[in-house]
Chains A and B, each alone.
Chain A
Amino acid sequence: MSDAPLLDVQNVTRVIGDEVKTTLVAGVDLAVAPGEFVAITGPSGSGKSSLLYLLGLLDVPTTGEVHVLGRPTSKLAEDARADLRLATLGFVFQFHFLLPEFTALENVLLPMRAARKLSEAQMKARGRELLASLGLADHAHKTPDKLSGGQRQRVAIARALANDPSVILADEPTGNLDTASSDQVLGILRDLVATKAADGRGRAVVVVTHDLDLAARADRRVHIVDGRIATDVRTKG
């Protein structure tokens, strides 16, 4: 297995605002290797989520470079960034953000339909398999309003895994869940780093969290203060 970083952030700064400028992320260097489970912690407004959006190519750094699978991305066109996101990154948000008119299965199929790599039957089989692996086999045809908070978040994880991405990025994935559901979601994310992505590489999970219990179970804990990395501690490996 190659140990080349899946994500490599080099001296990234993100400033927003025209007249009144606000620095969200300042001079961050961070490399995420395959098999790592990284927790990004920090106080509210410290820039954790902003860093995650930069890692996920949802935002473009003002200066610096974000490499995804070794590929520089700051100069990529929007469509190319969308394609890279679709193929290599999976997102889980605090609020599940499932499409309300679609069933759990249809939500999971969404990224696969966009990627158009599998036949309809193959997509459905994979979607059901993912839902089953997350304990949702009996809920495939329910719309999000018929699912509990924990079930919705597991559907969101299944959707993030649909295209078998190399990196899962999660923004407060347990922030809205009760303890039992949080444990379940955390366990699922924790187990993902032991699996391989579609390209045979090891997989990495990066989680932004306030949850100290979640952070304690990560391989690596990156603490952000005022947009800068204050500490970067490897607890395992």
Chain B
Amino acid sequence: MSLVALIAWTHVSSRLRQTLVGVLGVATGVGFSVMMAALMEGSQRDFITQLVDSLPHISVTDDRRAPPMQPAAIAYEAAEIRGQTSPATRPGIKNPYAIMAGLEGWVPGAVAPSVQAKAVIRFSGRDTAASVVGIDARREQNVSKLATQIRGGNLDNLYKASNAIVLGDGLAKKMGARPGNSVTVTAGNGRAISATVVALFHSGVSQIDDTQSYTLIKTAQILAGQTGLVNEIRVKIRDATQSRDIAARIEAETGYKSMSWQEAHQDLLSAFEIRNFIMYTVVEAILLVASFGTYNIISTITHEKTRDIAIMKSLGLRASTVRRIFVLESVLIGMAGMLIGWVLGYLLSIGMGLIEIKSPFMDSTHLPIYFSPMHYGLAGVVALIASVIAGFFPARKAASVQPVDIIRGAS
């Protein structure tokens, strides 16, 4: 063992109580930092996963980012055209199956059409406002989790009755309807159909379960009065992170507005960035506070050891050697704190993951925890840097001791 390591180790090991306090300070800082990071990133990832899984990765709609050029503007090179009447166009994506066939040729994932309509569903003389989504039941299972959320039947039941409907379980409960019952669905435009409830679904999100229903696409088209058109083509990508690029290409190829989940939730993702910045600031603050303990201990040791420092320097040890001794002591405390903190952080994370959260808006769930080596590495590196800084200042003071001043005083 080198001289520096030997003296540093002797100092910290011969003051076990002080050292232990310092180590526990750093360990607590690292442990809680790791736990907090695991919890924060866990909740963030869980939220994004739910967001990504519950919605299509890309939504192609009949909207356009900029209004199309008017025929008059295309025909005439005029500075301004006034008093023109724009041609009326039916809302919806035209030739949806041709577009989908084109997309299926290159998009790494699945596509499915949908038609949305607002409606009032009547059962037993009671009207309940609901949203009706027309889907292609076979394609739908490739782009959403609806098939796995069906209760009391399956999604293919939509094909087993004319005008079949699948209700959210919350909606069915409000209406008192059950599979096999017949309901009347009236769209906003006055069109009404009689539909048979063939199954219920439960997504776990009460806002959806209480208001949404599914029919076959043709049924929704009749209700919305837009035969042959769809409102939306939903795309599920195998690697959700590529959604932004693929959405841009779809938009370029089809001309329809194509929005990735990242674009749709840009505000949320930005909020996560701010949240992460706050989290890492708090984590670093915790470790900074822990480093004050280390500073205190190293200061105490250097104060107690002033005479020994003077002796070592009088024997011929350089100031830099003395400085290294005390910085190393600080690093030893930091490293021990880091290692114990990692274990503590891991155990705390597991403990937090066992806590069950019950919400009136969601199914009961456990706190989402994300274990990442980066959390441990970051907390460890910050703890070590803080320890080095905490040790550096007292070490510098120790190294500046003039042996003759101490020896003269001691004599």
- Of the stretches B163-171, B258-266, B401-409, the one at the interface is B401-409
Cβ of B320 < 8 Å from any Cβ of A? Answer: yes
Would you call B403 and A113 a contact (CB within 8 A)?
A: no
Would you call B411 and A91 a contact (CB within 8 A)?
A: no
Least CB distance from A196 to B in Å reads: 20
* Set B3, B10, B307, B319: member contacting A97, Cβ < 8 A: B307
Cβ of B308 < 8 Å from any Cβ of A? Answer: yes
Would you call B407 and A102 a contact (CB within 8 A)?
A: no
* Set B14, B307, B317, B319: member contacting A101, Cβ < 8 A: B14
* Set A94, A111, A172: member contacting B315, Cβ < 8 A: A111
Cβ of B318 < 8 Å from any Cβ of A? Answer: yes
Least CB distance from B314 to A in Å reads: 6
Contacts A82-B317, A102-B10 hold; do A110 and B312 have CB atoms under 8 A apart? Answer: yes
Residues from chain A with Cβ under 8 Å of B316 in the complex: 82-87, 89, 111, 114-115, 163
Would you call B308 and A85 a contact (CB within 8 A)?
A: no
Cβ of A93 < 8 Å from any Cβ of B? Answer: yes
In whole angstroms, how far apart are the Cα atoms of A86 and B316 in the complex? Answer: 4
In whole angstroms, how far apart are the Cα atoms of A79 and B318 in the complex? Answer: 6
Least CB distance from A43 to B in Å reads: 15
Cβ of A59 < 8 Å from any Cβ of B? Answer: yes
In whole angstroms, how far apart are the Cα atoms of A95 and B409 in the complex? Answer: 12
Contacts A49-B408, A58-B403 hold; do A79 and B3 have CB atoms under 8 A apart? Answer: no
Contact string, B383-411, partner A, CB cutoff 8 A, digits 1/0? 00000000000000000000110011011
Cβ of A78 < 8 Å from any Cβ of B? Answer: yes
Contacts A58-B314, A94-B411, A114-B3 hold; do A79 and B319 have CB atoms under 8 A apart? Answer: yes
In whole angstroms, how far apart are the Cα atoms of A115 and B313 in the complex? Answer: 13
Least CB distance from B139 to A in Å reads: 76
Least CB distance from A215 to B in Å reads: 18
Residues from chain B with Cβ under 8 Å of A82 in the complex: 313, 316-319
Contact string, B142-186, partner A, CB cutoff 8 A, digits 1/0? 000000000000000000000000000000000000000000000
Cβ of A61 < 8 Å from any Cβ of B? Answer: no
In whole angstroms, how far apart are the Cα atoms of A70 and B209 in the complex? Answer: 96
In whole angstroms, how far apart are the Cα atoms of A84 and B316 in the complex? Answer: 8
Would you call B404 and A86 a contact (CB within 8 A)?
A: no
Least CB distance from B113 to A in Å reads: 79
Cβ of A227 < 8 Å from any Cβ of B? Answer: no
Cβ of A56 < 8 Å from any Cβ of B? Answer: yes
Residues from chain A with Cβ under 8 Å of B372 in the complex: none
Residues from chain A with Cβ under 8 Å of B315 in the complex: 85-86, 91, 110-111, 114, 159
In whole angstroms, how far apart are the Cα atoms of A89 and B2 in the complex? Answer: 22
Cβ of B11 < 8 Å from any Cβ of A? Answer: yes
Would you call A93 and B6 a contact (CB within 8 A)?
A: no
Contact string, A182-221, partner B, CB cutoff 8 A, digits 1/0? 0000000000000000000000000000000000000000
Which A residues, 158 to 184, have Cβ-Cβ distances below 8 Å to chain B? 159, 163, 171-172
Cβ of B364 < 8 Å from any Cβ of A? Answer: no
Cβ of A99 < 8 Å from any Cβ of B? Answer: yes
Would you call B404 and A171 a contact (CB within 8 A)?
A: no
Would you call A58 and B407 a contact (CB within 8 A)?
A: yes
Cβ of B311 < 8 Å from any Cβ of A? Answer: yes
Would you call B11 and A101 a contact (CB within 8 A)?
A: yes
Instruction: Specify the chain B residue showing the minimal Cβ separation from A116.
Output: B3
Would you call B314 and A83 a contact (CB within 8 A)?
A: no
Cβ of B321 < 8 Å from any Cβ of A? Answer: yes
Name 27 interchain pairs, CB-CB below 8 A, sorted by A.
A53-B404, A58-B407, A59-B404, A79-B318, A79-B319, A82-B313, A82-B316, A82-B317, A82-B319, A83-B316, A85-B316, A91-B314, A94-B411, A95-B410, A97-B307, A97-B410, A99-B308, A99-B311, A99-B312, A100-B308, A101-B10, A101-B11, A110-B315, A111-B315, A113-B6, A114-B315, A114-B317
Additional A-B contacts beyond A49-B408, A95-B410, A163-B316 (5; CB < 8 A): A82-B316, A91-B315, A97-B311, A113-B3, A114-B316
**Interface set of B (CB-CB < 8 Å, partner A):** 2-3, 6-7, 10-11, 14, 307-308, 311-321, 403-404, 407-408, 410-411
